[in-house]
């Protein structure tokens, strides 16, 4: 990895402090494109709002497997565009597909993620 723009914020994720985990979309850690969209994710979840916080997620966080999703992330379209640009700068490969045909949400499998059990 070329280490370019590692600290660039690509999106926002909801962390449930009671359950000690990030919100997921099935098996993929969910990354919203704004704090407002992350708040909407939180409101649709089963978590109590007082137990949640919204974290800014950087490219470094993604490559460090934040959320423990083994490199699988559900990204809103704007997040995906930012992630893709930085991934290409750093020669990081990945696959992506629309979630259930929704072009506004992509499931991205990132190669080379440093998994927690590595």
Q: Among 45-54, 65-74, 87-96, which stretch is predicted with the lowest mean pLDDT?
A: 45-54
Is 118 domain-assigned?
no
Is 4 domain-assigned?
no
What's the total number of domains in the chain? 1
Q: How far is CA 93 from CA 89, 108, 109, in A?
A: 11, 10, 9
Is 94 domain-assigned?
yes
**pLDDT higher than threshold 80 for residue 1:** no
Give the domain extent around 90.
Answer: 9-110
Is 115 domain-assigned?
no
Q: Tens digits of per-residue pLDDT, 81-110?
A: 999 999 999 999 999 999 988 889 999 999
Tokens 């990945």 identify what position?
94
Two tokens at 46?
Answer: 């089963």
Is 95 domain-assigned?
yes
- Separation between Cα atoms, residue 13 and residue 67, nearest integer Å: 9
| Contact (Cβ atoms closer than 8 angstroms) between residue 13 and residue 22 | yes
Average pLDDT across the chain, whole number? 92
- Separation between Cα atoms, residue 70 and residue 103, nearest integer Å: 23
Is 52 domain-assigned?
yes
Q: How confident is the model at residue 79 (pLDDT cuts 50, 70, 90)?
A: very high
Q: How confident is the model at residue 5 (pLDDT cuts 50, 70, 90)?
A: very high
Is 68 domain-assigned?
yes
- How large a percentage of the chain has pLDDT more than 90? 72
Q: How far is CA 65 from CA 36, 43, 46, 68, 103, in A?
A: 23, 24, 23, 5, 24
């Amino acid at each position: 990895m070329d280490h370019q723009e590692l600290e660039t914020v690509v999106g926002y994720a909801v962390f449930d402090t009671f359950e000690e985990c990030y919100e997921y979309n099935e098996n993929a850690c969910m990354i919203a494109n704004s704090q407002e969209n992350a708040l909407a994710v939180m409101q649709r979840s089963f978590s109590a709002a007082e137990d949640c916080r919204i974290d800014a997620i950087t490219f470094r966080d993604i490559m460090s497997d934040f959320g423990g999703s083994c490199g699988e992330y559900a990204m809103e379209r704007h997040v995906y565009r930012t992630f893709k640009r930085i991934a290409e700068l750093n020669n990081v490969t990945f696959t992506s597909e629309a979630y259930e045909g929704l072009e506004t949400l992509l499931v991205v499998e990132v190669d080379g993620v440093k998994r927690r059990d590595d």
